[in-house]
A and B are shown apart, each in its own frame.
Chain A
Amino acid sequence: EAGVTQFPSHSVIEKGQTVTLRCDPISGHDNLYWYRRVMGKEIKFLLHFVKESKQDESGMPNNRFLAERTGGTYSTLKVQPAELEDSGVYFCASSQVPYEQYFGPGTRLTVT
């Protein structure tokens, strides 16, 4: 069974540009989460989808971040325009059972 995949693995962009991160969850997992770790900090929750609906987006830092989940399958996280403080590792996770979340390898975003 394929795990959670994320694309790209690394992205380097300039301040003010737009970046879109993609997450493909494990097939059949209704729950999809985005988390991120910025330099030196702890992993923080961003938002939670149940199928195509946003269940909780309380962790989204501001309106420069937009997450979508098309048809309840893959999800994208767009940052527009990117700022320096957005640099970090963005993780996606999916689950059927809430406490047992399967994480992808993460996308390392560097904003210069």
Chain B
Amino acid sequence: LAKTTQPISMDSYEGQEVNITCSHNNIATNDYITWYQQFPSQGPRFIIQGYKTKVTNEVASLFIPADRKSSTLSLPRVSLSDTAVYYCLVGMDSSYKLIFGSGTRLLVRP
């Protein structure tokens, strides 16, 4: 399973776009990239998944360059309620267990 590296923390202000980049140099050919969000006192929540290029849903966009060695989660116009920890996960073994790293703690200020 590919190891991921993402910033420990990020600060932003309401209304700004936030981009969180995750490095995964050892990503395998069949690995997908998945992002989860976790609010305090809650379990993680699936945000988005992608394999290459760009994926967009109602919550976020995921940009994946051609070499797939990194990915960027983009949150448009963040609000205070987007303050959370964001996890980048790459790959999944045969039992489909999720491998969590330390995540990025995003703080959105007024």
- Seen from chain A, the residues whose Cβ lies within 8 Å of a Cβ on chain B are 4, 31, 33, 35, 42-45, 48, 55-56, 58-59, 91-93, 95, 98-106
Q: Which residues of A contact B100 (CB under 8 A)?
A: 35, 42-44
Q: Is residue B81 contacting chain A, with contact meaning CB distance below 8 A? A: no
B94 and chain A: residue at smallest CB distance: A56
Q: Which residues of B contact A35 (CB under 8 A)?
A: 98, 100
Instruction: Tell me, rounded to whole Å, the shortest Cβ–Cβ distance linking A55 to chain B.
Output: 5
B89 and chain A: residue at smallest CB distance: A99
Cβ 8 A contact of B43, one of A42, A55, A59, A91: A91
Q: Is residue B99 contacting chain A, with contact meaning CB distance below 8 A? A: yes
CB–CB B49/A100 < 8 A: yes
Cβ 8 A contact of A98, one of B43, B96, B99: B96
Count, chain B residues at interface, CB 8 A: 19
Q: Which residues of A contact B25 (CB under 8 A)?
A: none
Known: A42-B101, A45-B99. A98 touches B49 (CB 8 A): no
Known: A31-B96, A98-B92, A98-B96. A103 touches B43 (CB 8 A): yes
CB–CB B49/A105 < 8 A: no
Instruction: Tell me, rounded to whole Å, the shortest Cβ–Cβ distance linking A38 to chain B.
Output: 13
CB–CB B97/A33 < 8 A: yes
Q: Which residues of B contact A43 (CB under 8 A)?
A: 44, 98, 100
Known: A98-B92, A99-B32, A99-B34. A105 touches B43 (CB 8 A): yes
Q: Which residues of A contact B49 (CB under 8 A)?
A: 99-100
Q: Write 24 A-B pairs (CB below 8 A) sorted by A numbering.
A: A33-B98, A42-B100, A42-B101, A45-B98, A48-B95, A48-B96, A48-B97, A56-B94, A92-B43, A93-B98, A95-B96, A98-B96, A99-B32, A99-B46, A99-B92, A100-B46, A100-B49, A101-B44, A101-B98, A102-B46, A103-B42, A103-B43, A103-B45, A105-B43
